[in-house]
């Protein structure tokens, strides 16, 4: 099959370009704001670079040291690879392993309890902040701002505050995760409630059901899968934040991570990071399986 060659002669090209200038010259009304926007972003970047007093010398030296650390991190271990094997030492090493795994379990416990109880406590507040449940504009505005304020304070700061109340340890971490997630869930729940379809509830009322029946059989089946999937999603993200609250002393693996980095035990650091990675991947796998099971594949892909 012979096809017409897409190549035109140069005068042919010039003729076409002359005939349809709108396709062959850039439209500056569209292009100028894009180029202007990026130029402004780059200018701000350069300004920030200078304002933060970042010198290239430090950057390169730092990357050199970082490369060294990565080299020292291999292979990840919980023991001491430099000494020859002996029985007593291997017992101590097993102790260390148990300590690390134990604090990983603690981290998971913090994330699990924190997420679950934040969701339970946030449920009534989600109803209060939803426009279609509480028609009073002042009430839901007040609840919303309250939730916003709680949400904008980081988990780490809540952990510091709770340490003052219940002392150092994982319990403070659990309470911190509960507090900061309470704000997030309250907002998410209220949004889910506002987008819920009211017709099933109306149908139930029209067949003689009570208000309770309308909520139980009309509203709850719509929103419960959404709630559960959001909670499961946040469980994974909380596992990650629970790994760092140990830095301020609120339990979990973060404390060991912090100590091992401070004493430059890089092999232990990489072992702990690996432990966190594995835990997060496992949690991610389980929670996405559960989400699929609860709300179905199609609903998730929306």
Partner 1 sequence: MALAVPTLPDHQAAALAAAYARVVAVKRRQTMIGALAVIVLVYVASFYGEVDLAKLFGNIGSFFNYIGRLFYLDTGAHVFTNPSEWFWGITQKSKWLPLLFETVMVAYLGTVIGFIGALCLSFMSAANMVKSALIRNTAKRFLEFCRTVPELVFALIFVVAFGLGPLPGVLALAIHSMGALGKLFSEVIENIDMKPVEGLQSTGANWVQTIRFAAIPQVLSSFVSYSLLRFEVNVREAGIMGFVGAGGIGQELLVSIRKFYYSDVSAILILIIVTVMLIDLGTERVRHKLIGRESRWS
x/- letters, 183..222, toward partner 1 (CB under 8 A): ----------------------------------------
Asked if 122 is part of the footprint of partner 1 (rule: CB under 8 A), the reply reads no
What does the angle CA 230 – CA 146 – CA 182 come to, to the nearest 5 degrees? Answer: 30
Q: Are 116 and 228 in contact (CB under 8 A)?
A: no
Instruction: Identify which of residues 63 and 136 has a Cβ nearer to partner 1 in the complex.
Output: 63
Query: What is the C-alpha to C-alpha distance for residues 238 and 185, in angstroms, rounded to an integer?
Result: 13
Q: Are 121 and 182 in contact (CB under 8 A)?
A: yes
Backbone angle region of 53, left / alpha / beta, with phi > 0 → left and psi within -120 to 50 → alpha: left
Asked if 141 is part of the footprint of partner 1 (rule: CB under 8 A), the reply reads no
> Token pair of 12, please?
């042919």
Report the candidate in 237, 247, 241, 276 with the shortest Cα–Cα distance to residue 100: 276
Q: Choose which of 77, 93, 96, 109 interacts with partner 1 (CB under 8 A).
A: 109
> Token pair of 152, please?
């904008």
Asked if 263 is part of the footprint of partner 1 (rule: CB under 8 A), the reply reads no
DSSP state of 246: G
Minimum CB distance to partner 1, residue 245 (Å): 9
ω into 75 cis (within 30 of 0): yes
Q: Number of residues interacting with partner 1: please give it, by CB under 8 A.
A: 67
Minimum CB distance to partner 1, residue 174 (Å): 5
Rg from Cα positions in the chain: 28
Minimum CB distance to partner 1, residue 59 (Å): 7
Query: What is the C-alpha to C-alpha distance for residues 169 and 131, in angstroms, rounded to an integer?
Result: 39
> Token pair of 260, please?
């091992």
Backbone angle region of 252, left / alpha / beta, with phi > 0 → left and psi within -120 to 50 → alpha: left
DSSP state of 152: H
Asked if 152 is part of the footprint of partner 1 (rule: CB under 8 A), the reply reads yes
Asked if 45 is part of the footprint of partner 1 (rule: CB under 8 A), the reply reads yes
Minimum CB distance to partner 1, residue 133 (Å): 25
Minimum CB distance to partner 1, residue 246 (Å): 10
Q: Choose which of 122, 147, 257, 275 interacts with partner 1 (CB under 8 A).
A: 257
Asked if 113 is part of the footprint of partner 1 (rule: CB under 8 A), the reply reads yes
Instruction: Identify which of residues 83 and 293 has a Cβ nearer to partner 1 in the complex.
Output: 293
Query: Which of the stretches 88-96, 196-204, 211-219, 241-249 binds partner 1 when contact is defined by CB under 8 A?
Result: 241-249
Phi, then psi, of 208 in degrees rounded to 5: 100, 10
Site for partner 1 in 2-21 (CB under 8 A): 6
Asked if 161 is part of the footprint of partner 1 (rule: CB under 8 A), the reply reads yes
> Token pair of 50, please?
């200078």
Query: Which of the stretches 87-95, 166-174, 181-189, 203-211 binds partner 1 when contact is defined by CB under 8 A?
Result: 166-174
Phi, then psi, of 2 in degrees rounded to 5: -100, 135
Minimum CB distance to partner 1, residue 203 (Å): 16
Report the candidate in 258, 254, 261, 268 with the shortest Cα–Cα distance to residue 75: 268
Catalog residues that contact partner 1 under the rule CB under 8 A. Answer: 6, 27, 30, 34, 37, 41, 44-45, 48-49, 51-54, 58-59, 61-63, 65-66, 69, 102, 105-106, 108-110, 112-113, 116, 149, 152-154, 156-157, 160-162, 164-167, 169-171, 173-175, 240-241, 243-244, 247-248, 251, 257-258, 261, 264, 269, 273, 276-277, 280-281
């Amino acid at each position: 099959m012979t096809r017409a060659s897409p190549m035109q002669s140069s005068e042919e090209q010039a003729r076409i370009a002359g005939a349809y200038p709108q396709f062959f010259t850039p439209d500056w009304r569209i292009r100028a704001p894009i180029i202007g926007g990026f130029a402004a972003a780059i200018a701000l970047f350069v300004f920030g670079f200078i304002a933060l007093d970042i010198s290239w010398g430090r950057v390169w030296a730092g990357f050199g040291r970082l490369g060294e650390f990565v080299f020292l991190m291999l292979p990840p271990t919980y023991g001491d690879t430099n000494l020859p094997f002996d029985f007593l030492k291997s017992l101590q090493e097993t102790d260390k392993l148990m300590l690390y795994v134990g604090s990983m379990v603690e981290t998971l416990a913090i994330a699990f309890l924190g997420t679950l109880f934040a969701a339970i406590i946030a449920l009534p507040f989600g109803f209060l902040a939803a426009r279609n449940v509480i028609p009073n504009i002042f009430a839901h505005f007040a609840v919303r701002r309250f939730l916003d304020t709680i949400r904008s304070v980081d988990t780490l700061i809540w952990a510091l505050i709770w340490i003052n109340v219940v002392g150092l340890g994982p319990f403070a971490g659990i309470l911190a995760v509960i507090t900061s997630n309470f704000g997030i869930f309250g907002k998410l729940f209220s949004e889910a409630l506002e987008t819920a379809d009211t017709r099933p509830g109306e149908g139930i009322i029209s067949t003689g059901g009570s208000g309770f029946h309308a909520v139980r059989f009309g509203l709850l089946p719509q929103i419960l899968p959404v709630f559960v999937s959001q909670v499961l999603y946040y469980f994974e993200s909380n596992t990650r934040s629970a790994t760092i609250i140990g830095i301020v002393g609120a339990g979990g693996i973060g404390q060991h991570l912090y100590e091992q980095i401070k004493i430059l035990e890089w092999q232990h650091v990489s072992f702990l990071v690996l432990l966190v990675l594995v835990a997060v991947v496992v949690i991610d796998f389980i929670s996405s399986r559960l989400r699929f099971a609860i709300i179905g594949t199609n609903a998730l892909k929306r």
